[in-house]
Amino acid sequence: MIFLQVAANTSSRFNYIMLFGTLAMLCLTLGIVFFVIFHQRKVIRFNDQLKKLEDDKQQILLNASIKFQEEERNRIAADLHDDVGPLLATARLYLNENLINQEPAAQLQSIFSAKQIIDDAIQLIRNISHSMMPPTLKNFGLESAMSDLFQKINGSGTLNASVRFHDYRTRLKIEQELLIFRIIQELVNNIIKHSNAGFIHLTQNANTTHSYFRLHHDGQGIVQTEFDRLNHVSTGLGLKNIASRIKVLNGRIFFEIDPSHTYYKVTLEIPKDSTY
Amino acid sequence: MKVFFVYTTVSLLLFIISFSAYKFYPEHLNTILSISLVVQFIFLSIIYFNIIRSAKIKKLIIFGTFAYIVFWIYNFLKSSFTDLDTTPFAIECIFFMFLIVYYFYEIMRFNLDIQLYQLPSFWISVAFLINFSGTFILFLFSKPLLNDPEFANQNLVILSTITIIKNILFCIALTTTKKLINPKNHSTLPADLNLDSF
Helix (H, G, I), strand (E, B) or coil at A141: coil
- Look at strands A210-217 and A252-257 and give their pairing: unpaired
Asked whether residue B182 is domain-assigned, the answer is no
Size of interface A-B (CB pairs under 8 A): 108
CA angle A128, A129, A131 (to 5 degrees): 65
Number of domains in chain B: 1
Which amino acid, one-letter code, is at A132?
M
Show the 3-state SS of chain B.
CHHHHHHHHHHHHHHHHHHHHHHHCHHHHHHHHHHHHHHHHHHHHHHHHHHCCCHHHHHHHHHHHHHHHHHHHHHHHHCCCCCCCCHHHHHHHHHHHHHHHHHHHHHHHHCCCECHHHCHHHHHHHHHHHHHHHHHHHHHCCHHHCCCHHHHHHHHHHHHHHHHHHHHHHHHHHHCCCCECCCCCCCCCCCCCCCCCC
Asked whether residue B47 is domain-assigned, the answer is yes
Q: Do the Cβ atoms of B173 and A195 come closer than 8 Å?
A: no
Asked whether residue B195 is domain-assigned, the answer is no
Q: Which of B131, B195, B196 to mutate to test the interface with A (most CBs of A within 10 A)?
A: B195
A11/B150 CB distance under 8 A: yes
Residue A2, pLDDT above cutoff 60: no
pTM: 0.54
Q: Is B108 on the interface with A (CB under 8 A)?
A: yes
CB burial of A136-147 (b: ≥16 within 10 Å; e: otherwise) equals: bbeeebbbebbb
How confident is the model at residue A8, as a pLDDT?
A: 44
Residues of A contacting chain B (CB within 8 angstroms): 11-12, 14-15, 17-19, 21-22, 25-26, 28-30, 32-33, 36-37, 39-40, 43-44, 47, 51, 162, 164, 166, 201, 203-205, 207, 209-210, 212, 214, 216, 252, 254, 267, 269
Asked whether residue B63 is domain-assigned, the answer is yes
Residue-wise pLDDT for B12-25, tens only, equals: 777 777 777 667 66
Residue A233, pLDDT above cutoff 80: no
Q: Do the Cβ atoms of B15 and B8 come closer than 8 Å?
A: no
Range of the domain at B115: 2-175
Looking at 3.30.565.10, 1.10.3470.10, 3.40.50.300, 3.40.1210.10, the CATH number of the domain A135-271 comes to 3.30.565.10
User: Which chain B residues in 125-154 lie under 8 Å from chain A, judged by CB atoms?
Assistant: 126, 129-130, 133-138, 141-142, 144-145, 148, 150-151, 154
B116/A36 CB distance under 8 A: yes
More confident residue, A179 or B84: A179
How confident is the model at residue A222, as a pLDDT?
A: 87
Nearest to B116 among A15, A29, A37 (CB): A37
How confident is the model at residue B185, as a pLDDT?
A: 55
Q: How confident is the model at residue B154 (pLDDT cuts 50, 70, 90)?
A: confident
- Look at strands A199-206 and A160-165 and give their pairing: parallel
What is the percent of chain B with per-residue pLDDT over 90, rounded to a whole number? 9
B129/A207 CB distance under 8 A: no
Asked whether residue B127 is domain-assigned, the answer is yes
